[in-house]
Copies of this chain bind each other. A is one copy, B any other.
Amino acid sequence: MNSPLRLGLAGLGTVGASLARLIEAKAETLANRVGRSIEVVAVSARDRSKDRGIDIAGLAWFDDPVALASEAEIDVFVELVGGADGPAHEAVKAALGRGIPVVTANKALLAHHGVSLARLAARKGTEILFEAAVAGGIPIIKTMREGLSGNSVSRVYGILNGTCNYMLTRMEAEGIAFDDCLADAQRLGYAEADPTFDIGGFDAAHKLAILTSLAFGCEIDLDSVFIEGISAVTNDDIAAAAELGYRIKLLAVACRTDTGIEQRVHPTMIPSSSAMAQVNGVTNAVAVDSDLLGSILLAGPGAGGDATASAVLSDIMDVAGGVLPPTLGLPPAKLAPYKRARMRAHEGGYYIRLSVYDRVGAFASIARRMAENQISLESIVQRKLPGAVDPSTAPVVLVTHETTEAAVRKALEAVSKDGHLKGEPKMIRIESLN
């Protein structure tokens, strides 16, 4: 049996406490598997006296995670503090500076500083592992970094935010309105008191930016992600989608185009018959399209203490077994600069929902604006709903054939100016899945 692997664990929240418990409870299994014991020897958290169901009496205590990372006698620094900057960033830099590998679940840290940290790690002969930073317990980082290592990826996409998927699933299944659904999600702990980071699409964007780098061998560029959250999705949209054979998901997509790499997070209609459309509740899923494999899909728990701890633990086990793959799948010097594809050049189908005043010529005017912008329509549905609130307008649903974002925006702007619409036009992008 080799010498024990000594962990310094910064952050004893849900995931950190879960990890500490697991390492103790599964000590023998883990040691059997990897040929050495794994031991937490030093910890750092805000409150030393809090009861977390773990015994920290025998461990070195640090009030400051940076001090732990800088001074503790450890073989691996496990960062579960969170946050892009501040102590988490400083502590990770300190550990890497000592040549100590870092295991982290911190998506914000990676999305903002992943490339510079990977460079620091490489200079110091070590690496950062971050399986838990994207899609919780799903081993998507390992899969993309190692399992697909001979593949050229054309698109990676997925359901990366459990809060949004939980809400959209319930809105569809039970017909609950967005606001009621959000209140429920908050009550049940699936959404934060300030839900903006989740339902605004920002959480998914962080994860997508990391996946983009692994998929295309390029630098991480969070600022280039086009982001649209789910707060404008209504039960009517969901019902219309169902009639058209689609479900609405908050999809995060990165794909290679002629002009660069597109990164976008937005409510998306996907075919109801696809495996991705069956991903319900807080479950996450990621699909990768590549030259050799066609398409693969991974689905599983996107959050939760144990699931996230499982991902952290698999990274720790890799380090214990002597495996230190390049942080972003490639040596940092080989990463290409990120080349952004403009969202206006995005090509795809669109679902458009208009509230049209019931006037002669309104529909002809809308159809002309579409034609002027070379948008051809796959389907057009206009009908009065029984019990419609406003008898002077009719909902019109258009589904376009493949067109561009620029054309759709231009057409909708013109339609709006023509004065036939009550309120703003509504648009949801459609994603073709293999």
Interface residues of A (CB under 8 A from B): 22, 26, 29-30, 32-35, 131, 137-139, 142-143, 146-152, 273-275, 277-279, 290-301, 306-307, 309-310, 313-314, 317-318, 321-323, 325-326, 329-331, 334
Inter-subunit contact B307/A301 (CB<8 Å): no
Inter-subunit contact A143/B142 (CB<8 Å): yes
Q: Which of A150, A273, A321, A329 has the most CB of B within 10 A?
A: A150
B residues less than 8 Å from A329 (CB atoms) = 33
Inter-subunit contact A294/B299 (CB<8 Å): no
A277 to B139, alpha carbons, bound, how many Å? 22
B residues less than 8 Å from A35 (CB atoms) = 331
Inter-subunit contact A147/B151 (CB<8 Å): no
Inter-subunit contact B301/A300 (CB<8 Å): no
Inter-subunit contact A139/B150 (CB<8 Å): no
Inter-subunit contact A149/B307 (CB<8 Å): no
Inter-subunit contact B32/A330 (CB<8 Å): yes
B residues less than 8 Å from A147 (CB atoms) = 131, 139, 142-143, 314
What are 6 residue pairs bridging A and B, where the CB atoms are less than 8 Å apart in the complex? A22-B292, A32-B330, A275-B278, A275-B279, A294-B300, A322-B322
A402 to B411, alpha carbons, bound, how many Å? 58
Known contacts: A273-B278, A317-B150. The answer to whether A310 contacts B293 by CB under 8 A is yes
Inter-subunit contact A33/B298 (CB<8 Å): no
Chain B residue, CB-CB nearest to A312: B150
Chain B residue, CB-CB nearest to A290: B310
A139 to B149, alpha carbons, bound, how many Å? 11
B residues less than 8 Å from A300 (CB atoms) = 293-297
Inter-subunit contact A293/B273 (CB<8 Å): no
Inter-subunit contact B295/A150 (CB<8 Å): no
Inter-subunit contact B146/A22 (CB<8 Å): no
B residues less than 8 Å from A295 (CB atoms) = 300-301
- A274-B278, A275-B275 provided; 20 other pairs, C-beta below 8 A? A26-B152, A33-B329, A34-B149, A139-B143, A139-B148, A146-B317, A147-B314, A148-B310, A148-B314, A150-B313, A150-B314, A292-B307, A292-B309, A293-B301, A295-B300, A296-B301, A297-B298, A297-B300, A298-B298, A298-B299
Which of B29, B149, B279, B309 interacts with A33 by CB under 8 Å?
Answer: B149
Q: Which of A26, A298, A321 has the most CB of B within 10 A?
A: A298
Chain B residue, CB-CB nearest to A275: B278
Which of B26, B33, B149, B278 interacts with A313 by CB under 8 Å?
Answer: B149
- Minimum-distance CB pairs A-B, first 4: A139-B147, A296-B300, A150-B313, A292-B310
Chain B residue, CB-CB nearest to A278: B275
B residues less than 8 Å from A275 (CB atoms) = 275, 278-279, 299
A298 to B286, alpha carbons, bound, how many Å? 10
Inter-subunit contact A301/B306 (CB<8 Å): no
A151 to B142, alpha carbons, bound, how many Å? 16
Chain B residue, CB-CB nearest to A316: B150
B residues less than 8 Å from A297 (CB atoms) = 297-300
Known contacts: A32-B330, A142-B146, A310-B150. The answer to whether A137 contacts B293 by CB under 8 A is yes
A322 to B321, alpha carbons, bound, how many Å? 11
Known contacts: A22-B150, A301-B294, A331-B35. The answer to whether A321 contacts B325 by CB under 8 A is yes
Q: Nearest Cβ distance between residue A74 and chain B, in whole angstroms?
A: 19
Q: Nearest Cβ distance between residue A1 and chain B, in whole angstroms?
A: 11
Q: Nearest Cβ distance between residue A103 and chain B, in whole angstroms?
A: 12
A33 to B32, alpha carbons, bound, how many Å? 31
Q: Which of A138, A139, A273 has the most CB of B within 10 A?
A: A139
B residues less than 8 Å from A325 (CB atoms) = 321, 323
Chain B residue, CB-CB nearest to A333: B32
Known contacts: A143-B143, A297-B299, A330-B33. The answer to whether A137 contacts B307 by CB under 8 A is no
Known contacts: A32-B330, A314-B146. The answer to whether A307 contacts B293 by CB under 8 A is yes
Inter-subunit contact A299/B301 (CB<8 Å): no
B residues less than 8 Å from A290 (CB atoms) = 310
Q: Nearest Cβ distance between residue A307 and chain B, in whole angstroms?
A: 5
Q: Nearest Cβ distance between residue A419 and chain B, in whole angstroms?
A: 45
